[in-house]
Structure 1
Amino acid sequence: MRTILLLIVSNTFMTFAWYGHLKKPDMPIWKAILISWGIAFFEYVFMVPANRLGYGQFNAFQLKTIQEAITLVVFMVFAVLYLKEPLKWNYLVGFGLIFLAVWVVFKK
């Protein structure tokens, strides 16, 4: 459970690092890059321990799959609440197919 919580926090930071600047299109690109790098540092502060703690309980393929699934959930919340973008049916179906892939990865 600690691994999952750390991955959620990590992905929240990374989502803001990658997409947070989109609300400020007038910001110079160099400034957006520097701010994003600063935010991304905190992503690593949580991602590295998440992977260290999770490895053994999960294999590397499973850890990466969990991380990607969490990224999609965090991004959906971010896009709707922060960027104010609509969540359309085709996005949900597409992400649903990705979650089907997650199920396949964890299938014994």
Structure 2
Amino acid sequence: MTKGILTVLLLLISNIFMTFAWYGHLKFQEWGWVKKSVIWSVILISWGFALFEYIFQVPANRIGFRENGGPFTLFQLKIIQEVVTLVVFTVFAVFFFKNESFKWNHLAAFICLVLAVYFVFKK
């Protein structure tokens, strides 16, 4: 597996954990014990998810960074990470939050971010 593909896969896994850490607790409120929990316990649960985010994010950046032998510049890594984040979040929002809908302006913003990836790789 190439370093580029491994980097993107690790970023994908990292962002799944990140999305659950940042937004999962909003859905978990449907569970009785989470709804009754104080904010500090919800924060600790989110930190637990965020730990796994970092377990995958840090190696992704180290493997993918050009100065460590990877294929990407720092700016390229960041733009790739943002697009992966948007893709993961969109899937999460549509499937876990049935009251949220994906609209044309969301698609337009997504296209702009994909264009950002194109431009960041342009010489």
Instruction: Give the structure, 1 or 2, with the largest relative contact order (CA under 8 Å, sep 6 or more).
Output: 1
Aligned counterparts of 2:39 and 2:118: Cα–Cα separation in 1: 39
> Counterparts of 2:39 and 2:25 in 1: how far apart (Å)?
9
Counterparts of 2:107 and 2:39 in 1: how far apart (Å)? 31
Counterpart check, 1:45 vs 2:55: yes
1:61 to 41, 66, 75: 75
- The CA RMSD over aligned residues, in Å, is 1.2
Find the aligned partners of 2:65 and 2:40 in 1 and give their Cα distance. Answer: 36
**1:104 equivalent in structure 2:** 119
C-alpha distance in 1 between matches for 2:20 and 2:93: 10
Q: Which amino acid aligns with 2:21?
A: A
Q: Structure 2: how far apart are the matches of 1:28 and 1:22? A: 13
Alpha-carbon distance between aligned partners in 2 of 1:38 and 1:66, rounded to the nearest angstrom? 24
How far apart, in 2, do the equivalents of 1:29 and 1:94 lie?
A: 32
Aligned residues: 108
- Taking the TM superposition and a 5 Å limit, the aligned residue runs for 1:1-108 are 1-23=5-27, 24=29, 26=35, 27-56=37-66, 57-84=71-98, 85-108=100-123
Per mean C-alpha deviation after superposition, the further-off stretch among 23-32 and 63-72 is: 23-32
Extract unaligned runs of 5+ from structure 1.
none
CA-to-aligned-CA distance 1:10-46 (integer Å, 9 cap, x gap)? 0000000000011117343212111000110000000
**What TM-score, normalized to structure 2?**
0.83
Unaligned runs of 5+ in 2: none
Q: TM-score, normalised by structure 1?
A: 0.94
**CA distance in structure 2 between the partners assigned to 1:28 and 1:41 by the alignment:** 21
Q: Report sequence identity in percent.
A: 62
- C-alpha separation in 1, matches of 2:103 and 2:26: 20
